[in-house]
Structure 1
């Protein structure tokens, strides 16, 4: 794909569509089950900078990633797309209400392990939707239309 994505004779819009059709699905395979920490989010945002290579901008040019995205007429969207897919899948799992519900909400009666606790899927979703919305999240799972609207509104806001 390097020859296609860096070819100057192909328009940037066609190259962006090729990137979106062939590279992004491979990159996001299985993203519904990921827990995204700050470190992983930074790596995903760095991976999203295919446009620097597509526009053949060397790192010695000292252009910020935001300037490169402006030149490509694009916004950062990879992490937001992953969060939206996670929320959609999580709503599906939670409505099922079986063992997956117990695992996701963490309602097991078990001894906690030592050290810093691992980030759960609900923690990532709560940071994406907002800190005070955890109780709203658990209430909104049951109503599919409310859940879909909640995801769509937060996705459009870009949080």
Structure 2
């Protein structure tokens, strides 16, 4: 569920504007407009742009397409007359993995931060490598080991001194 809200302005059977901007960009009603129109029990087809009406779409392709002439009528390669052959582009494949052509959209947003916490400090949202208290904790660990060795040394000294 999204926490964002959008404002929809409807003009009777002509135009619709939504703050998400998709209606202006694509000339078709966005999901926000469709849900508002359905609440009013109207058809969302009334808000589709004239570009997408079937008659206008057919008018796009009314003009005649010209066929390509037979290959025998094409001009031949002749450097004297200035007619040079059309060669493929000089292309060399780069090393490494090719780039992807993925364009990020709203579905590619990552999930929020983890609620896991690092056990040594108990702070949520980081781990051992990013902990700002790790130097303090490692120093405390060092002191506890030194204290243990010191106590062990005193016990050994008492034990061997009494022999």
TM-score by length of 1: 0.18
Higher strand share: 2
TM-score for both structures, normalised by structure 2: 0.18
Instruction: Determine which structure has more spread, i.e. the larger CA radius of gyration.
Output: 2
**Structure with the larger RCO, 1 or 2 (CA within 8 Å, 6+ apart):** 1
